[in-house]
Amino acid sequence: VTMAHRLLRAARTASKLQQVGSAHRLTAQRALTSCRCLLEQSLDHSLETDVGGEEPAPFVLPADLAPIEFVHREARPILSFGEAIKVLRACAVHQVTFEAHVKISMHDKTRKRGRPRDPLRGVFVLPHGFKQARKIVVLALGDDVDTALSAGAVAAGGEDLLEQLSEGKLSYDLVMSTPDALKELKSQAGRVLRTQMPTVKKGTVVEDLETELPRIARGISIRSDTSGAIPIAFGKLRLSDDQLRENLDSVVKQVLEYNIGVKGRFIERITISTSNGPGFEVDLEEVVHPLL
């Protein structure tokens, strides 16, 4: 009975690992080898306990036994934008968010060979909004305070604003600043804001508040990882197919603006998915090449 249990457990483990794919090839191979060894031992044991008095013949595996082969999962086909959206709508069970996972080349011709470019950061504004505008507070001095408030800021000011933020009296999503205010209040703001400190690299230190503040409030912050993958939300289920396509075209155009002389394709792959659904790679000939 113990041998049967061990055999069953090894077979189940091998079956599960085989379904996962080639990532666990070695582990699955070991489990299957263990399964075969246990099978040999169980057969030898059953032959030894046979009633008959004759010495059982040893169990030998056939020489022409085919090796174990793992069946690889077939890659999902590359779909058109319309086909991918149609499948994702069918899989949606609530008001999901559509996401575009853009893979870009990290080659930078201005750097030494082998050194990738810095992560891509920015704020993308899409033609059809689907999220609430972010609440922004602005570190500003003088006339810039009134400019920030008229542009849509929740609050604006200098030391008085930092006091309110340190006491937790304001509800906000993002902190922006003008260059002059940041230079004067940098030490105090660093102690209060910490990781929310506005910086030039994040794009939250701006001079033209009238233009940049509404753009950042409605925009979507993006950042690539070290491999060049950029996840970008570009719509909700309530938007029409045409609106989703216009948003995706806007995403592609804004990503292409970051191209710094990459040889070959800058955008290598685009995969469309939902927040809780499968992902499908879309045809670059349809989505990217018309915008080049």
- Give the pTM: 0.68
- Residue 114: phi, psi to the nearest 5? 95, -10
Q: In 57-196, where does DSSP find H-type helix?
A: 81-91, 143-151, 159-166, 179-193
Which of 44, 63, 68 lies closest to 55 in space, CA to CA? 44
Strands of 279-281's sheet in order across = 229-236, 97-104, 267-274, 279-281
Return all residues near 268 (Cβ < 8 A) that are at least 6 apart. 103, 104, 105, 228
Question: How many angstroms separate the CA atoms of 200 and 198, rounded?
Answer: 7
What is d(CA 30, CA 93) in angstroms, rounded to the nearest whole number?
A: 40
Query: Residues 255-267: pLDDT tens digits?
Result: 998 887 666 688 9
Measure the N-to-C terminal CA separation of the chain; round to a whole number of Å: 68
Q: Tens digits of per-residue pLDDT, 112-158?
A: 666 777 888 888 999 998 988 899 999 999 999 999 999 999 999 99
